[in-house]
Amino acid sequence: MSQPYKKEHYQIGIICALHTEAAAMIAMLDEEHPKQTSQKDDPNDYSFGRIGVHNLVIACLPAGHMGNTPATSVANNMKRSFPIKIGLMVGIGGGAPSKTVDIRLGDIAVSQPTGSHGGVFQWDYGKTEQGGEFHHSGTLDKPPIALLNALQSLKIYDINKGIPLQDALTTMASNNPRMVDEFGYEYQGADEDQLFQSTYDHPAEETCEDCDVKEVIKRKVRKSTIPRVFYGNIASGNQVMKHGTTRDRIAKKEKVICFEMEAAGLMDNFPCLVIRGICDYADSHKNKIWQPYAAATAAAFARVFLGFVEKQEMADTPVQKQYTVVPLPRNTDFIGRHDIFQKLDQLLPRTGAYQTAAIWGLGGCGKTQMALEYTYRWQQETSGSVFWVRGDTEASFSQGYSDIAKEAGISLDLKGEDLLLAVQKWIEELPNWLLIIDNVDDLRIFKGAYGHHSTGSSPNPELLRFVPRKIGIVLWTSRDNSILRKLVDYSRGVEVGGMSDQEALKLFQSRSGRPQSKQPCDEESELLDLLENLPLAISQSAAYIRLTRSTVKTYIEMLKESETELLGYEFSDPHRQSDIPNSVMKTWIISMKKIAQENRCAEKILNTIAYLDNQGLPFEVISAACGDSFKKHEVLLAAGRLVDYSFLQIQTTVGAELPTYQEHRLVQLATRQALTEVKQDSEFSSNAIQILDELFPDGTHETRDLCRVYLPHALKSVSWKEADRYEDLAPELLGKIGRYYWEEGRSNEAEQLELQVLDLRKRVLGEQHPDTIRAMANLA
């Protein structure tokens, strides 16, 4: 009776890209085993068996899928379903022959650390620098020591006795004659092995029958058809190498013996050796007749190689542990934002290089939720380790590192910078990791304003020193756009705005418990417009509606009556940390306090424009809000800081020398609420009226274009009747607006304003005052 195998018995994984390769590998098994149950969400199809003393699990990429990304996905799913310790990537590739490497069709290329590479590198990842020269970047991991030891033993055996590849091929052919007779798993003959000059491109025809034989390179005839084995770097890419001169250039520079398309997706996540049978020469003269035999030679080498992998060394090889230190569960109801994730995937490809990026935007736009979803997606796709720390204060960052230290088994006797440094070094030693640093709104704690590097017990340790910098990914989140020039490159930032209309609708319906529909009803459209598609505001409103069983129409009515109260409502959300505000009002007030501490001019701008129209704010208004004590460049810098926090956005005006701005309506609301709480609302609303009174022209025909610019702000400013000295200040501005209306032929509107002016004059000055009499005359 055969032994009942279990999942834990399969610790060696073999991945093939093509069915041709997988069939050859299965044919090399000493015995096949019954299917094992994989993880419920693992889509891979597996074959099981034994070679010598080792049990193997074999997986093939889905039909039609090639490249690094599908290979990564298959490998990660295999690791989730089985306790894989080591692996092999077995299949076909394109040889890179040279004067020193006489590699031919049917030969075998094996990855071995050479030069600066660990045996595999991604040839199409890097950047084009000045002069048009392409520089490869990133470093991939080496095969595990158990495989390198076995490889060394096999090479010694080869020198003494020779690798019994032909025995394996003969056994495969005798046991599976149909593979040879019908599918071509046999040596194709020296006449079919033609290497053309690298500069000679293949004509349009499918075969090389019409290729110029004068371009064929003459090579020494081999005495034996037994495949030879070559060891060195294998170049992996997301595209097929089909160009002889490019092949030669890369091969010479990087000591490459073979080109293929999957290995770069495995090396950092799947500890493996890459074995490739040569089916072409990575040039334009490709054909498929050598593919089955090349797959067979690679499988034969894999079979022989496994005989040199010591069982005890396998037992001593640990399963690569996956660490997860994330304080929040995955939000299974996360919705949309596909454009953001697409940008992140472009900025942070799975290449094995050290990479950083930042997502930034207005508080409440969903940065933390997107980072959380990205974290779980990344771990699912890579099987790497993920860590999450908060960057809002030095204390929260240190606490996050303490949590990581506990998981890592680092002594908690270490304190302060010693602990931070120990965690940094530990993360850097991991083969594949992602670190999220969330809520980095005070950049000073990571990088001192004057480049000072503190030592000892300084209150500002400049935490950037303790952020890992070796192979891995660091993703920052911040409300402050200046993170792009202080902590990451400008090109590595992703701005997060409001959701799309469809995403906003889906989020609202999901959170409120309303029926799902692709088109919003009128009330839903109105509400989402009022909330400006901001995720936090939508979640707040939906939570309130669900809790109180209110209709959307009723909620809108209440929102218009007491907007600040409803948008200050705190709701429970398991996907947000408990000490982080769950309302847009409180979230923004935190940022406003930071701005007030940092830049008095920016604070005055924010407080004053809260009482103006939120669109088309001219620079002159922004400057006047700061007051005469600030110079133009100081005003521009202050407005720039508000843009950094996404409180302001710059509106592009063709031909304008100075910028025009706009502000979120809800930010204005939050600002007014904050000012009301500290009893400064009347001061700044009064300031808004005074500024517009000074800037608004006399309303004549010559100034009408400028009047149009200032009109919405003037009208908004005079609507705040609680302003200090409103009855003294408003009549002059109302009068100017009225004169403009008369000039524009808007007599009804002009008359209404003149009546307001008259009413104010009577109440403040009395009916006999000259200004009151003039107001009466204007109505006559």
Domain boundaries, the chain: 7-316, 324-496, 501-566, 584-779
CA distance 655 to 100: 63
Q: Which residue has the higher pLDDT, 134 or 772?
A: 134
Instruction: Give tens-digit pLDDT for 722-767.
Output: 888 877 787 788 878 878 777 777 777 766 766 666 565 555 555 5
pLDDT of residue 442: 81
CA distance 317 to 86: 8
Least confident of 44-48, 186-190, 201-205, 377-381: 201-205
370 Cβ neighbours under 8 A, 6+ residues apart: 337, 340, 341, 359, 496
pLDDT of residue 455: 35
pLDDT of residue 3: 60
Q: In percent, how much of the chain has pLDDT > 90? A: 37
pLDDT of residue 762: 54
Domain 7-316 matches domain 324-496 at the CATH topology level: yes
pLDDT over 60 (residue 574)? no
- Average pLDDT value for the chain: 84
pLDDT of residue 456: 38
Q: Looking at the domain 324-496, which fold is it?
A: Rossmann fold (3.40.50)
Handedness of CA 571, 576, 577, 580 (dihedral sign): negative
773 Cβ neighbours under 8 A, 6+ residues apart: none
pLDDT of residue 23: 96
Q: Which residue has the higher pLDDT, 584 or 384?
A: 384
Helix (H, G, I), strand (E, B) or coil at 18: coil
Give the CA distances from residue 646 to residues 486, 649, 730, in Å, rounded to whole numbers and listed in that order. Answer: 17, 6, 31
The whole-number average pLDDT for the span 461-485 is: 86
The whole-number average pLDDT for the span 386-390 is: 94
Beta bridge partners of 276: 91, 109
Q: Looking at the domain 7-316, which fold is it?
A: Rossmann fold (3.40.50)
pLDDT of residue 550: 84
CA distance 337 to 24: 43
pLDDT of residue 132: 61
pLDDT over 90 (residue 45)? yes
**How many degrees, rounded to 5, is the angle at CA 390 between CA 384 and CA 395?**
130
CB 264 within 8 A of CB 351: yes
pLDDT over 70 (residue 776)? no
Instruction: Give tens-digit pLDDT for 262-312.
Output: 888 888 778 899 999 999 999 988 878 999 999 999 999 999 999 999 877
pLDDT band of residue 441 (cuts 50, 70, 90) is confident
CB atoms within 10 A of CB 727: 14
Q: Are strands 324-325 and 385-390 parallel, antiparallel or unpaired?
A: parallel
The whole-number average pLDDT for the span 698-717 is: 84
Q: Is 189 exposed, middle or buried, given 0-12, 13-18 or 19+ CB atoms closer than 10 A? A: exposed
The whole-number average pLDDT for the span 493-501 is: 87
655 Cβ neighbours under 8 A, 6+ residues apart: none
161 Cβ neighbours under 8 A, 6+ residues apart: none
pLDDT over 60 (residue 185)? yes
Handedness of CA 536, 538, 540, 542 (dihedral sign): negative
Helix (H, G, I), strand (E, B) or coil at 496: strand
How is residue 192 written in tokens?
């079919």
How is residue 134 written in tokens?
């392409």
CB 266 within 8 A of CB 71: yes
